[in-house]
Amino acid sequence: MPVNQKVAVVTGSSTGIGLETSVSFARNGFLTYATVRNLDRSSMIKTIADKEKLPIKLLQLDVTDNTSVTNAIQTVASEAGRIDVLVNNAGYGLGGAFEDLLVEEIKDLYETNVFGLIRVTQAVLPIMRKQRSGIIVNLSSGAGLFGYPGGSAYVSSKFAIEGLSESMTYELEQFGIKVVLIEPGFIDTNFASAMVIAKKARDPSSPYSQMMQKLAANSSEMIKNASPVDVVSKVILQAVTSKDPNLRYLAGKDVENWAANKKAMSDTEFHNMMKNLGQ
């Protein structure tokens, strides 16, 4: 690899934000390890990398598997000798009223969204600490700033990432390691179509069935005005190339508006605004 070339690792790179971020990094000179759970689903990023001759290396990494995480990060360390940027992007959504959620469904979500992030970060930290530099980018969400009906599991996973990341900043700054939170709104990816709807929430006899139907209709309308995926990748690139990145970055006009309302309104006013999503 060229002298002084930065090395980035991105999880969940087969589609959406992960794919766009990996390509953006590579186009800007990063040696990028685009990691995917299933290499059979990496044809899109491979096609782009081959066509543009980008410095992208595809790597199998399942964030829910300790051995997979360890092997992948060891591969990067042995080949590249360093890791300058980690983007924890892998994750998915789980929809359903809290009462309708099975504990097993919530555990599965946390295994990817929270513990997956923890596994990968803990594997990378000794490398960054030894080189006394690095940036960890954690994909949060507008859902890491406020709750909404039907989103208790997903929202709580993002709140966990927010608290984890903020606490880590105090511990890691002594080693020259920065932590960044990216908080997107609705983004034009397959996230919504890939969202898992809780088993009980799909039952028409659920006492929350009408609410979930209304939420689905409102979400479909908001998705029509979703921001393009490069809105997020540009914010991530801005953060990792900044000399002094912020802890938090919003990504999308919708989440900017929600965050402004959350700040300006009383809790009661914001609650009344958000509950209309399910009514």
Domain assignment present for residue 165? The answer is yes
Residue 263 pLDDT: 95
How far, in Å, CA of 210 to CA of 28, rounded? Answer: 47
pLDDT along the chain (279 residues), means of 10: 86 97 98 97 96 98 98 98 98 97 98 98 98 98 96 98 98 98 95 92 96 90 92 98 97 96 96 84
Domain assignment present for residue 53? The answer is yes
Residue 273 pLDDT: 92
Strand, helix or coil for residue 249: strand
Residue 202 pLDDT: 95
Domain count, the chain: 1
Domain assignment present for residue 102? The answer is no
Domain assignment present for residue 210? The answer is no
Element (H, E) at 136: strand 134-139
How many CB atoms are located within 10 Å of the residue 130 CB?
12
Summarize pLDDT for 20-77 with one digit per residue, the tens.
Answer: 999 999 999 999 999 999 999 999 999 999 999 999 999 999 999 999 999 999 999 9
Rounded to 5 degrees, φ, ψ at 178 are: -105, 150
How far, in Å, CA of 23 to CA of 21, rounded? Answer: 5
Give me the active site residues, please: 140, 154, 158
Domain assignment present for residue 125? The answer is yes
Residue 193 pLDDT: 84
Domain assignment present for residue 117? The answer is yes
Element (H, E) at 8: strand 7-10
Domain assignment present for residue 241? The answer is yes
Domain assignment present for residue 57? The answer is yes
How far, in Å, CA of 209 to CA of 207, rounded? Answer: 6
**pTM of whole model > 0.75?**
yes
Element (H, E) at 157: helix 152-172
Which CATH number covers residue 244?
A: 3.40.50.720
Residue 275 pLDDT: 87
DSSP string, 24-88: HHHHTT-EEEEEES-GGG-HHHHHHHHHHT--EEEEE--TT-HHHHHHHHHHHHHHHS---EEEE
Asked if residues 195 and 93 have their Cβ atoms less than 8 Å apart, the reply is: yes
Which domain does 66 fall in, by range? 7-92+112-196+223-252
